[in-house]
A = this chain, B = another copy of it.
């Protein structure tokens, strides 16, 4: 955003008034006179009309929006099988195992999620794995196991789609499609997933800017998605003491300034089971509209990510600490 000045001599006074609004500015000169103040992108969000009202301001020049469809959804929660997520709705708890391993394991997980006050079941039928030799999920059969488990427990279903060819079958079983962080800018997959015309849970890429994240959501909306729930799961970090670097500033920005639905995954962010509960509380403090947490009936025998999965009792403890049980039915319409 650029603020042009009526007279170069107004620069100091206008800069002070912009500062009072929470705006950082840099001067632009021509013929050694300050003609304009460039507003830095780490400034508070201020409507242009509040700026043009300042005496001495000639005009406010803004870049055109890059995501008009998303802008039109600001302040509106996303609906997933009758459940609302986002601005104005109570936080939701999404939970389940990393991988769907058997009908029994996912059913037991679903009961634990329900008991903890969760409303959406997560679980991987198709798993993105860094190594081609790691267990990558039971695929289509697991989708059916998961749907049955969720229906029995009265939960909605979210699950990741990894390949364009699986979009139709995933969309048949899931209430919300998940795009993983490694696919946040896999535009072929985004288009295919959007065409399913369902809500999409869009995980942030491990080094994606907020602007890139918003634009990937715009890709989904243009292709036909009925809504986008953003999910922050931590950025690539240089510090081996935690696996990823949870960016709650971005969460606060989406929830409070953009008023877009955003949930947080503290399990992947930390990698460490002993940090999940404090990070869950932190996420809700920042304004997150929900949590997505890994749980497993028996973490010792989980086929993937067991070291970060919570057992049912720990999940219930987390939900208590975050007051989910008491909120359970508020968000149902």
Query: Which A residues have a C-beta under 8 Å from some C-beta of B?
Result: 2, 16-20, 22-24, 26-30, 35-36, 38, 40-45, 59-64, 66, 128-133, 136, 162-166, 182-189, 191-192, 205-207, 209-212, 215, 218-219, 222-223, 234-250, 252-253, 255-257, 269-275, 278-279, 281-287, 299-302, 306-308
- In the assembled complex, the CB of A297 is this many whole angstroms from the nearest CB of chain B, namely 12
Closest Cβ neighbor of A218 among chain B residues? B132
> Are A189 and B187 also in contact (CB < 8 A) when A63-B27, A64-B29, A282-B286 are?
no
- In the assembled complex, the CB of A181 is this many whole angstroms from the nearest CB of chain B, namely 9
Bound Cα distance from A207 to B66, whole angstroms: 24
Chain A at the B interface: mostly helix, strand, loop or mixed?
mixed
B274 touches A285 (CB 8 A): no
Bound Cα distance from A287 to B279, whole angstroms: 9
Query: Known contacts A27-B63, A44-B307, A282-B285; can you find 12 more A-B pairs with CB under 8 A?
Result: A22-B272, A29-B63, A30-B60, A30-B61, A132-B215, A164-B188, A182-B185, A210-B239, A242-B250, A248-B278, A252-B279, A284-B285
- In the assembled complex, the CB of A229 is this many whole angstroms from the nearest CB of chain B, namely 18
Bound Cα distance from A128 to B189, whole angstroms: 12
> Are A274 and B44 also in contact (CB < 8 A) when A19-B299, A36-B61, A253-B241 are?
yes
A24 touches B253 (CB 8 A): no
Closest Cβ neighbor of A284 among chain B residues? B285
- In the assembled complex, the CB of A80 is this many whole angstroms from the nearest CB of chain B, namely 23
A239 touches B19 (CB 8 A): no
Partner of A24, one of B236, B274, B307: B307
- In the assembled complex, the CB of A323 is this many whole angstroms from the nearest CB of chain B, namely 12
- In the assembled complex, the CB of A159 is this many whole angstroms from the nearest CB of chain B, namely 14
Closest Cβ neighbor of A166 among chain B residues? B188
Partner of A249, one of B61, B207, B242, B281: B242
